[in-house]
Structure 1
Amino acid sequence: MPKIYLGTAGIPLSAKGKSTIDGVKRVRELGLNAMEVEFVQGVRMSIEKAKELGEIARELNVRLSVHAPYFINLCSTDKEKIEASKNRIIETALRAEAMMADAIAIHIAFYGKGDEKTCYELVKEGIGEVLDKSKELGISNVKFGIETMAKETAIGTLDEVISLAKETDKTRVKPYIDWAHTFARQGGKIDYGEIIDRLENELNLDHINSHFEGLENRKGKYVDVHRSITYNTPPFEPLAKEILKRENLSITLICESPELENDALIMKQTLERMGYKFGD
């Protein structure tokens, strides 16, 4: 039986309090077992608070991951912006390490005016520098997840995120799969099984971190506007089937839809209907 960690991107909407600790407690109350801590607008949590959060999450058996700020671009033409981007990744990773999160999701870069190959090389160089600095700071457990992106202006095709892991350090850099983004980037098509096979065979991943949500369709094109998973774009059930086929798979599914826990619970019910049992 695979091991599935399922939860919300940030504090559930039904949490009584609005702190991240309140969010973790509510996740557990709902019968979910994962939460992604959102630093998307900036890293505003102290190391001490991150440690406290991690201890509570561990007590409650809630697996944590973290989303880095959106303001990251390792392909910027402004060197100061690149340095600021690297610092934001490091600051995120320090908190993630303190809270014992397993990985951080990073929107790594936009192609901008440069060509894709030049941008890719800049990103690879920047990641290398982040890895060196993180090692100096004692960051040893958290993985740096390069997120697959929907927008064609961003680095984040499936091939790119796999190659970046291979060509930097695949023990510390990993793809962070946003299933809906990949679906959009591939023109509204996705083969979940093929993607899982590639991650296992090419990178030997022991755990897959991922996001799931629905996307809006505008004039026949899927765009990066998040919708409920009930939009079925992409469909969740085929992914659930592919996950359950794989006895040794370990995966986190973070619901990034606007419906957060409501959709996460639909995902949970779908998996349970197919025979999966979530433990305590």
Structure 2
Amino acid sequence: MTALMLPDIAAQPHGQDQPRLDFVGMRQIALPVLLDGKPLDCRVDAGVSLDDPGARGIHMSRLYLALEALEQQELSLPAVQAVLARFLDSHEGLSRQAHLNLRGELLLKRPALVSPLAGWKAYPLALNTRLDGHGFHVELQLTLGYSSTCPCSAALARQLIQQQFVADFADKKLDHADILAWIGSSSGILATPHSQRSEARLQLRLDPDLQRLPVRQLLDGAEAALGTALQTAVKRADEQAFALANGQNLMFCEDAARRLHQCLREQDGLLGFRLEVVHAESLHAHDAVARSDWNWHRGRSR
């Protein structure tokens, strides 16, 4: 029996010209890759534009199969660009623009501040890329958590402690041992500033000529600039060191945004960025937010 040719409905032309489509493809494709030598369980969006006004559709299976080139290897910009080029090659005459977006969580083992303990921390990230007639475009999104202690709250707490000190020692001769005991008592240090878990969201336009993704470098730099990165496994000595770090890094959301802005301006390989910090207030039922950007809109053609 002669094998019948399987119908290819997507390849059949339209009877009349149709509008151009910016993106046709797939979302949430599972793809395992490596980043900084660590496994990254990715979800991928892959697609191309449909520019041929007479074509009914694209060849989605060709996009899916092209992703195999990224499996189980170090994720790099040259590798991503090669896959995007394959998207376009496999849709010659149909598409002039290719898209590949990856999302996942990078797990990094972070040491405690003092003790020999260490634990894993997850950093959500997204890599959004595009290849078109204007070149290769890359945006990296990173999210990291930190602690922020309110400077105003700290000042108000110090004032209450001063007032209590005056009240407790107004008619007493100052004695070193008594003062030391007072400082260590709850009646002496009767007020504490409020802190909150906070989050920084970074959108970074990368130089497309970078050979490796500087994710670890960017995360380490941002956490060092803030000074109060969230911890994993801790002992009491680590908790005390964390309290010290918070006391030495009092931050409004404005302070955190400015620290990150300065840090990112000093990073190599960035063409522009936009950042947002969110302090989930422990005093209020709302968040405090600050945003900043540098060179973000320049060169961001569609």
TM-score (normalizing by structure 2) = 0.28
TM-score (normalizing by structure 1) = 0.29
Bigger share in strand: 2
Name the larger-Rg structure. Answer: 2
Flag the structure with more relative contact order, 1 or 2, with Cα contacts below 8 A and sequence separation at least 6.
1
Bigger share in helix: 1
